[in-house]
Amino acid sequence: MADTILALDAGPVPRPRSQMVATGFAVAGFAMMMAGALGWYMALRHASVSPGHDWIPDGVAVPNPQFDYALLTLVVSVITAHWAVYASRRGERGHTWLAIAVTIVMGLGFINMVIFSMNRMEIEIGSGQWQNLAFAITGLALALVVIGLFYLGLMALRSLGGSMGRDGTAPLSAAVFFWDFVVIAWTATWYAIYVVK
Amino acid sequence: MSETTSDTADMSTTTVTTEDPTPFGWLNTADHKRVGRLFIVTSLMMLALGVLLDALVRLDLTDDADHVLLDGSSFAQVFAWSRESLVLLFLIPIFLGVAMYIVPLQVGATNLAFPRAATASFWTWLVSGGVLIGAYLGNGGPYGGWSDGVDLHLLALGGLVLALLMGAINVATTILTHRSRGMFLDRSSPFAWSMLVTASMLVVSLPVLFGQLAILYVDHRYGRVFLGGNGGIWERIDWIYEAPQLFIYTVPVLGIVAEVVLGSLRKKVFEPLAMYFTIGLVGLFGFGAWANFSITNEGTDLADGFEGIVLVGMYGGATVGILGLLALIGFAAFQSRKNLPKPTAALLAAFGAGQLMLLAAIYGLVGAGVDWLEIVGRGNDGNPYLRDTTWVTGQQSVLIYGAAFLGIVSALHWWAPKIWGRSLDNMMGMLSFLLVAVGATLATVGPAIAGAFAETPDFVYADANATSLYSDWVDASSGPGMAWLGLIGILVAGAGMIVLKVNLLISIVLKKGTEADANPWNGIAPEWMLDSPPALGPLSELRDLDSGMPLLDAALEAEDVDEEVTV
């Protein structure tokens, strides 16, 4: 009688989660960068205006609807980004690509909306303390959005190359994790600079 | 603490890369050993620049009536340049370089987590460093007269920060995710652990500088509206060159001390967890330097003494951490008192580095305590705070010229056989140790006394010209003499590092050093299980590693078996 193999083979060894951990470190670093910049902004604001008053220069109006729509676009893009992860885990290639594409389009739309809003405010860089801070910190936040889009785009290419399924989604998850952070970073920037003013 | 796995066998077959053995291979290498060597050698070259510039600064302080070689604005520029060179072009990158070489071997990884990113970080660092030097040479940098050069300096600093962050994230990720199966974090080598602490702290502190640089750049480039143009830059970014932030960069020294002393003793500390805790404590208490009031230009009088209390707490915590670690190592040495190792350059330098780390923490504690008492009005004699005097320079000296230099002397003597395959000359190493130890002491004592008793200003932000013209300060009678002492100190310490470089040249480049076998020190850490130096490309020999001291574990197991057989 042939020997019966009772034990199952060992399962596959888990892949190193390097990309997610490195993304976590990057998120921590960028969070400190934004917190530092916004903290500086708030401290200078505190020193410059009395409580209850706006720091924004007279005659400059923040186009609230545009900024609100921009934020809304970014928040919705979080849903589509997670849709991409969900679809990728299930191996649904078409859904994954569609979700990433929609996320990237919304991200580009967001950048367009923010630049449009700043143009509409007709503020000039170098014309005052608030203006310079607003340009610098908004620029940092937009740079994060660009990095996030680039990261998502890169991971989309990886998905295109077949990195999908339960094990293959980790890189895309890391990119989406970064995207989540980008949205939080922009929300904090928007609130501090364009709502609290 | 979590357990992680290394690359699987299948994965390793897909990640094997062929290293080009020709010199061109250094340009696009994906091997952690090559990138590590690039960082180490280049940082050592950059060190000469930092010491030379610092010597010019200190020479200028030897005359209390006028500048010596520099003038008002060039003094300020050289002052800033010297600090940036010592920290961003030497201190952080050299420890990253040692870590990039050694840490993967210590945790049983086949390579760094992101080998190409490591190469990118080196070249970005080098190019940014070159741009930084170019900006200063063209009369840029803080207080510079060339407007575009000032902007260029800010961009170069941004590039340096990004490069060092890439390297730090790479090292930290390697330790967290590429440890071999069974290698828990609390079993890893002390140096690997210290690099995890320092890399993590770099990741959460240097980006704050990056945010500041962005704002400074926009304001300086466009209108110079509120930050005071080229004169308002340095006071907002100098926190990265001073304690307590300096402690973050020098945490690896503690790892080196533990690694070299315990390796020489062939002994573990009686409570390894306490060792990891104390090293972590020093990193933790070095964090938060960016939160000082001078950054926003508000509350520079240390409002309510709050910052004073925080600084006392930070230095107190660092002191406890370092003292705890040294006590643990000291106890291990006491337990081995009948079998103490022969003193080597690596061991002596490690011993000295540990003592100077402790001195730096106590020094900071005393300074912060005195300032705090001044702030709250007890004992206030109307004198400037110690933090505004060369007392600060003394603390920088004990950390950079003292602990860090000795840490590097120790690390390079200890790991040279593994990195280059040849041992460094021990007598020259002893000379390096002696010169650095004496020089660092003088470099610390001079400015410390000048700051504490003559109140020599470290730097005057508002008027750079006033820095060496400090006759209107309270008492400058002994300032110049002490400044001479500090100058002689850094020159002697610098000479110690030149001896180290000559040693490297003779022993490694000219191949006069003894060819090393796999374990020339009879060490206990995993890297000593590999050839000296290990072959280029990913390594898989340490995949089943489950301890940071496998050779000691094996020896102890063998002793147990012998005892059982005897019984």
Higher pLDDT, A36 or B299: A36
Over residues B320-324, the mean pLDDT reads 94
Is B383 part of a structural domain of the chain? yes
Judged against a pLDDT cut of 90, whether residue B467 lies above it is answered with no
What is the C-alpha to C-alpha distance for residues B444 and B447, in angstroms, rounded to an integer?
A: 6
pLDDT 10s digits, B496-505: 999 999 999 9
Mean pLDDT of chain B: 85
* Amino acid A77: pLDDT: 96
Judged against a pLDDT cut of 50, whether residue B232 lies above it is answered with yes
* Amino acid A10: pLDDT: 54
Across the interface, do A22 and B4 touch by the CB < 8 Å criterion? Answer: no
Structural domain spans, chain A: 63-195
Higher pLDDT, A6 or A94: A94
Is B369 part of a structural domain of the chain? yes
* Amino acid B453: pLDDT: 81
- Give the one of A15, A25, A28 whose C-beta lies nearest to B173's C-beta: A25
Angle between helices B306-335 and B345-375 (to 10 degrees): 150
Across the interface, do B113 and A18 touch by the CB < 8 Å criterion? Answer: yes
DSSP B473-526: SS--TTHHHHHHHHHHHHHHHHHHHHHHHHHHIIIIIS--SPBP-S-TT---SG
* Amino acid B74: pLDDT: 85
Angle between helices B92-107 and B405-420 (to 10 degrees): 40
Across the interface, do B211 and A36 touch by the CB < 8 Å criterion? Answer: yes
Are the CB atoms for B494 and B516 separated by under 8 Å? Answer: no
Over residues A10-34, the mean pLDDT reads 84
Judged against a pLDDT cut of 80, whether residue A166 lies above it is answered with no
* Amino acid A5: pLDDT: 53
* Amino acid B207: pLDDT: 95
Cβ-Cβ contacts under 8 Å, A140 against chain B: 211, 214
- Give the one of B113, B178, B211 whose C-beta lies nearest to A140's C-beta: B211
Over residues A91-116, the mean pLDDT reads 94
Across the interface, do A32 and B205 touch by the CB < 8 Å criterion? Answer: yes
Over residues B115-141, the mean pLDDT reads 95
Topology of the domain covering A63-195: Four Helix Bundle (Hemerythrin (Met), subunit A) (1.20.120)
Q: How many domains does chain B have?
A: 1
* Amino acid B183: pLDDT: 84
CA distance A130 to chain B (A): 10
Cβ-Cβ contacts under 8 Å, B2 against chain A: none
- Give the one of A22, A36, A126 whose C-beta lies nearest to B223's C-beta: A126
ipTM: 0.90
What is the C-alpha to C-alpha distance for residues A63 and A188, in angstroms, rounded to an integer?
A: 17
Cβ-Cβ contacts under 8 Å, A12 against chain B: 8
Give the N- to C-terminal CA distance of chain B in Å, as an integer: 38
The CATH number for B544's domain is 1.20.210.10
Across the interface, do A25 and B6 touch by the CB < 8 Å criterion? Answer: no
Contacts 24+ apart (CB under 8 A), B62-68: B62/B480, B62/B483, B62/B484, B62/B487, B63/B468, B63/B480, B64/B468, B64/B469, B64/B470, B64/B471, B64/B476, B64/B479, B64/B480, B65/B469, B65/B471, B66/B468, B66/B469, B67/B468, B67/B469, B68/B468
pLDDT 10s digits, B40-64: 999 999 999 999 999 998 888 887 6
Judged against a pLDDT cut of 60, whether residue B13 lies above it is answered with no
Across the interface, do A126 and B225 touch by the CB < 8 Å criterion? Answer: yes
pLDDT 10s digits, B154-198: 999 999 999 999 999 999 999 999 888 888 888 889 999 999 999
- Give the one of B5, B205, B218 whose C-beta lies nearest to A132's C-beta: B218
Cα atoms in the 13 Å half-sphere on the side-chain side of A133: 26
Higher pLDDT, B308 or B167: B167
Is B7 part of a structural domain of the chain? no
Locate the chain A residue with the closest alpha carbon to B219: A132
Locate the chain A residue with the closest alpha carbon to B221: A126
Between chain A and chain B, the number of residue pairs with CB atoms below 8 A apart is 115
Q: Which of A106-110, B90-94, B241-245, B324-328 has the weakest average pLDDT? A: B241-245
Across the interface, do B113 and A139 touch by the CB < 8 Å criterion? Answer: no
* Amino acid A187: pLDDT: 96
Over residues B321-328, the mean pLDDT reads 94
Return the top range by mean pLDDT from A132-141, B231-240, B368-377.
A132-141
Judged against a pLDDT cut of 60, whether residue B298 lies above it is answered with no
Q: Which of A66-70, B349-353, B477-481 has the weakest average pLDDT? A: B477-481
Is B2 part of a structural domain of the chain? no
Over residues B383-393, the mean pLDDT reads 80
Across the interface, do A17 and B177 touch by the CB < 8 Å criterion? Answer: yes
Close Cβ partners of A104 (under 8 Å, ≥ 6 residues apart): A149, A152, A153, A156
* Amino acid B8: pLDDT: 39
Cβ-Cβ contacts under 8 Å, B217 against chain A: 136
Across the interface, do B295 and A40 touch by the CB < 8 Å criterion? Answer: yes
* Number of other residues whose CB lies within 10 A of the CB of residue A59: 7
Q: What is the DSSP letter of B182?
A: T
Where b means 16+ CB within 10 Å and e means fewer, B314-345 reads: bbbbbbebbebbbebbeebbeeeeeeebeebb
Query: What share of chain B in percent tops pLDDT 90?
Result: 53
Is B1 part of a structural domain of the chain? no
Judged against a pLDDT cut of 50, whether residue B506 lies above it is answered with yes
By residue range, what is the domain housing residue B334? 27-566
- Give the one of A34, A36, A43 whose C-beta lies nearest to B290's C-beta: A36
* Amino acid B398: pLDDT: 94
Locate the chain B residue with the closest alpha carbon to A43: B296
Higher pLDDT, B253 or B295: B253
- Give the one of B208, B215, B218 whose C-beta lies nearest to A32's C-beta: B208
Are the CB atoms for B506 and B427 separated by under 8 Å? Answer: no
Outline where B231-344 has alpha helix (H).
Answer: 234-237, 245-265, 272-285, 306-335
Is B463 part of a structural domain of the chain? yes
H-helix or E-strand spanning residue A108: helix A93-121
R_g of chain B, CA atoms, integer Å: 24
Instruction: Please tell me if residue B172 touches chain A, with a CB cutoff of 8 Å.
Output: yes
Q: What is the DSSP letter of B389?
A: B
Locate the chain A residue with the closest alpha carbon to B296: A40
Higher pLDDT, B496 or B390: B496
Is B239 part of a structural domain of the chain? yes
| Rounded alpha-carbon distances, angstroms, from residue B74 to B133, B226, B292, B455, B491 | 14, 23, 27, 22, 21
Return the top range by mean pLDDT from A160-169, B130-139, B362-371.
B130-139
CA distance B547 to chain A (A): 19
H-helix or E-strand spanning residue B39: helix B32-60
CA distance A12 to chain B (A): 9
* Number of other residues whose CB lies within 10 A of the CB of residue B556: 13
* Amino acid B417: pLDDT: 95
* Amino acid B292: pLDDT: 62
